[in-house]
Amino acid sequence: MTIDTIFRIRSMTKPFVGTSILMLAEEGKLQLSDPVSKFLPSFANEKSREVTVKHLLSHTGGFAKRRDFSFKNYSSLRETVDSIGTTGPQYPPGTRYKYSNSGYATLGAVVAEVSGMPLEDFIQIRVLSPLAMTDTFCNLARDDPRRKRVSCTYANTIFGLMKYWDNSQPQVLKYFRACAGMYSTPIDYAKFLLMWMDKGKFDSKQLLSPDSVRKALECEALSIKENVKGKTFGKRCYGMMWQLVLDKRNETVAFGHSGSDGTIARAYPEKDTMVFYFTQSKEGSEPGYFGKFLSLMETNLHLNGN
């Protein structure tokens, strides 16, 4: 592993999709209160028509993991999302937090429909290029010269860590999985976090308005992992696209996101600090060693007021 090793950042993709949604909202091309069915006909049915864009941003759309559902069974993002909309959510929209890859895949399809271009093109043109994120991308092409720098990935098994993918293989899906498909480096992701820490501005470019940034970093829903049987384990919640840390005044003091292949980034704006922990061991980010590291970090920064 070197300073320019490229990682599969998985769910750390979600904030890029959310940022794209906010950009379109600022341009008046959609509203966060809009029902998804306004853009995707597959959601215009009794089960799905109440799902809004904001529900999906905060994981309150009612979609949960389904054992009978796999992104591998579809040939495109739109085909996948049409199946999601037709099947509908498992819970009434807006009633509970349920972390959902299906919801963010749907947001990706909304971006493509509203912008008139593939989601990966929108992210490249509107986010990655303005931030000079040259080692961040949505799809790993066979002839991409960066391929040799992409790390292999491991999974924890009863036999220990086992490698299940390396850069000699094609990416798992043939299409861009909007909820968890991107590749990046810690240095590149720092540019993205810096834009958010600076209220939507990067160098002289204003990518998002300060108001959009402020609203996205407000708590929308407590994470089920942190609110079990009425007992709160630290003040963690989800805003719009970001995992948040709250202080004892219930104000956001940190934001970031994790990825299931063992990556996480967190920003502490008041401390002018970012923390990155990038591995490539599946489900190795929280609540294991890194969870303990975060707790220690926040104690030292005097952020955990519980």
Reported pTM: 0.93
Tokens, residue 301 = 């920064």
pLDDT tens-digit map of 198-229: 999 999 999 999 999 999 999 987 654 433 33
Residue 287: predicted pLDDT: 53
- Predicted confidence (pLDDT) per residue in 12-21, tens digit: 999 999 999 9
The three-state DSSP-derived secondary structure of the chain is CCCCCEEEEEHHHHHHHHHHHHHHHHCCCCCCCCEHHHCCHHHCCCCCCCCEHHHHHCCCCCCCCCCCCCHHHCCCHHHHHHHHHHHCCCCCCCCCCCCCHHHHHHHHHHHHHHHCCCHHHHHHHHHHCCCCCCCCECCCCCCCCCHHHECCEEEEECCEEEEEECCCCCCCCCCCCCCCCEEECHHHHHHHHHHHHCCCEECCEECCCHHHHHHHCCCCEECHHHEECCEECCCEEECCCCEEEECCCCCEEEEEEEECCCEEEEEEHHHCEEEEEECCEECCCCCCHHHHHHHHHHHHCCCCCC
Residue type, 156: N
Q: How confident is the model at residue 229, as a pLDDT?
A: 35
Report, as an integer, the average pLDDT of 276-296. 72
Whether the predicted pLDDT of 306 surpasses 90: no
Predicted confidence (pLDDT) per residue in 32-88, tens digit: 999 999 999 999 999 999 999 999 999 999 998 887 789 999 999 999 999 999 999
Model confidence band, residue 282 (pLDDT cutoffs 50, 70, 90)? confident
What confidence score (pLDDT) does residue 218 get?
94
Tokens of 73: 């069974």
Position 283 scores a pLDDT of 63
